[in-house]
Amino acid sequence: MITFESWNDMQDQIPDFPADSETKGALEVLRWAYDTYGDKLVYACSFGIEGIVLIDLIAQVKPDAEIVFLDTHYHFKETYETIDKVKARYPQLNIRMQQPEMTIEEQAAKFGPDLFATNPNKCCEIRKIIPLQKALAPSTAWISGLRREQSESRANTNYLNLDNRFQKIKVCPLIHWTWKEVWRYVTKHELDYNVLHDQGYPSIGCEPCTKPAFSMDDIRSGRWSGSGKTECGLHTTNP
């Protein structure tokens, strides 16, 4: 089995997934991943549009898969409404709302109000990175909806990746999908999605740190706008 510890010794055992298949390798990657890791594989989902596609594909492979949502308590109400719709459509999925240790009030008492504005990296650490670390602790691998097209920092993402931050294997089935292909799939299968996508939000995170995108050439341009920050830290290769 390819694990974080055995990664360097098992490069020749990484399958050659077909990027030209109907799902650009996504279903093939998911089948292999669940066959390989079983219940030691978890999907960390933000319930954005890529997540909606992945959930539908995962449900075809493992209907009772574990899905973790990092409930920072700063999310849009539309995001929670989307999760409710997904739960209704896929009742067998094990969707878990992972909570941070501190409430917003406890965080404010310790670090001051609106930490997302004064120190967004610390806020992400408390409300996203540490909770995901705990959620992934029992797992060998986790799934992410990263696509190469999303940003420069994601352009070299592979189907299987060594995740040094969480010391896991990170599985990214959608790396070759374009924005148009994601939407084409959602439309074709009439999937429920976050309505904020129709209001200029291609990438949706916590409400205080998410604005409509300035340009569709950079669909993450609305995240942490004006701060110089581009990632929450979950996908940083070397912490």
- pLDDT tens-digit map of 60-81: 999 999 999 999 999 999 999 9
Alpha-carbon span 69 to 143, nearest angstrom: 12
Task: Give all strands of the β-sheet with 41-44 in edge-to-edge order.
Answer: 94-98, 66-70, 41-44, 141-143, 168-171, 160-163
Residues 6+ apart with CB under 8 A from 202: 49, 179, 213, 216, 219, 220, 222
Residues noted as catalytic: 232
Task: Round the average pLDDT of the chain to a whole number and report it.
Answer: 91
134 three-state secondary structure:
helix
Q: Hey, what are 57's tokens?
A: 């594909």
pLDDT tens for residues 88-114?
999 999 999 999 999 999 999 999 999
pLDDT confidence tier of residue 150, bands split at 50, 70 and 90 = confident
Alpha-carbon span 135 to 154, nearest angstrom: 23
pLDDT confidence tier of residue 151, bands split at 50, 70 and 90 = confident
The two counts, helices (H) then strands (E), for the chain are 8, 6
Q: Which amino acid is at 79?
A: T
Judged against a pLDDT cut of 70, whether residue 215 lies above it is answered with no
Residues 6+ apart with CB under 8 A from 177: 24, 26, 50, 53, 147, 149
